[in-house]
Amino acid sequence: MTRPGRPPLQSDDTILEVALRSFAKFGYDATSVRALNAELGLSHETITQRFGSKAELYRAAVSRGVHQFVVVFDHEIASRRPNNDLEQLRATVRALMIAMSQHITLGELLNHKGIGASERDTLMTEIGLAERMLEVAGLLHRLQSESLIRDVQLREIWFLAEGANAPLHFDALAQMFDPIDGPINRELHIERMTDAIMRGMRIDID
């Protein structure tokens, strides 16, 4: 029970979620820990007492965000049970789109330099995102060596998936097309865009 006049308690997950959104929207330098405490109704030292410095808070927030992204990514690939490399690539593109659609702040966050490229790279390795991306790069190399797909870079696939997710991020803009296309269906959109990206990479598609 909260005592009268005492700031309400917030879970670590809630604090990290709010911090993640702030870092993604405003960047590392412009994010204020004092402002985060105020937004959450906490005393001005609460976040520092729980997480340490702003750099440590940033690291914890990014770690949580990337971990959630990786969990969704892995789950979606496993749910497809791909039997060969081409099926694995399609499952990967689809999983990227789904994970990005559920964690829309991650791309914005990773676009900020934050606490430095080397620290960010270390964090991505620890959480497993770097490992996943290296696996995708190996998959692309195998398919290219077998002349099943065109010369496509990992960066291109990431940003193709990011761009294809735009209608799911920009709701008001996407609704402008409703009179022509009808309301967007999230699941169908992801499947259609996954197919479009795959058609662009496949060599044996007319």
User: Six-digit token pair at 124?
Assistant: 């991505």
Residues 123/59, Cβ–Cβ less than 8 Å: yes
How many domains does the structure of the chain reveal? Answer: 1
Q: Which pTM was predicted? A: 0.84
Q: What is the pLDDT of residues 120-148, one digit of tens each?
A: 777 778 788 889 999 999 999 999 999 99
The encoded tokens of residue 32 equal 């204020």
Kindly state whether residue 155 falls inside one of the protein's structural domains.
Answer: yes
> Amino acid identity, residue 181?
D
**Sign of the dihedral defined by the CA atoms of residues 166, 172, 176, 179, in that order:** positive
Residue 45 domain flag: no
| Residue 48 is assigned to a structural domain of this protein | no
What are φ and ψ of residue 202, in 5° steps? -65, 140
CATH classification at residue 122: 1.10.357
Question: What tens digit of pLDDT does each residue of 72-125 get?
Answer: 999 999 999 999 999 999 999 999 999 999 887 777 777 766 566 777 777 778
Examine residue 29 and state whether it is found in any structural domain, yes or no: no
Question: How crowded is the C-beta side of 57, counted as CA atoms within 13 Å?
Answer: 29
- Tell whether 138 is covered by a domain: yes
- Which residue range forms the structural domain that includes residue 150? 65-201
